[in-house]
């Protein structure tokens, strides 16, 4: 088959997918070009970026409950309970009357106990 719209020598599943400056290749080509071989590597990269963003938000305003909850949630999901507790305790030192953060800190302590 000599179809000008086929990507890989006439594969039926890849027909009629335009390419060129206005139509870049699909996401599989980007993954292959970037060297990301597995979904696990992609997940690790995303977790690293999310961790950096949450830490940055917490560094700018450690009293902000939204920054605290986002960072604590990420830390909990990655099984870093002690770090999440440290974040909540830091926030409570700056805003001791924040009952939502106090509740999260108490929940984390109870979770750690068993």
For 39-94, what is each residue's pLDDT tens digit? 788 889 999 999 999 999 999 999 999 999 999 999 999 999 999 999 999 999 99
CA distance 59 to 48: 16
pLDDT (tens digit, 9 = 90+) per residue, 12-40? 555 554 555 554 555 665 556 555 556 78
* pTM for the whole structure: 0.65
Burial 77-93 (b: 16+ CB within 10 A, else e): eeeeeeebbebbeebbe
Token pair in block for residue 26: 């699909």
Q: Residue 35's Cα: distance from chain center in Å?
A: 19
Domain layout of the chain by residue ranges: 1-35, 39-113
CATH for 39-113, options being 3.20.20.140, 3.20.20.70, 3.40.50.1820, 1.25.40.10:
1.25.40.10
């Amino acid at each position: 088959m000599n179809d000008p719209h086929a990507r890989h020598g006439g594969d039926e599943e890849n027909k009629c997918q335009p390419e060129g400056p206005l139509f870049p290749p699909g996401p599989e080509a980007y993954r292959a070009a970037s060297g990301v071989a597995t979904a696990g590597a992609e997940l690790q990269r995303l977790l690293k970026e999310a961790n950096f963003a949450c830490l940055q938000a917490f560094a700018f305003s450690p009293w902000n409950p939204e920054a605290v909850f986002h960072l604590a949630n990420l830390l909990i999901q990655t099984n870093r309970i002690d770090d999440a507790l440290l974040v909540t305790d830091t926030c409570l030192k700056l805003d001791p009357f924040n009952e939502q953060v106090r509740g999260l800190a108490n929940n984390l302590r109870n979770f750690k106990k068993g």
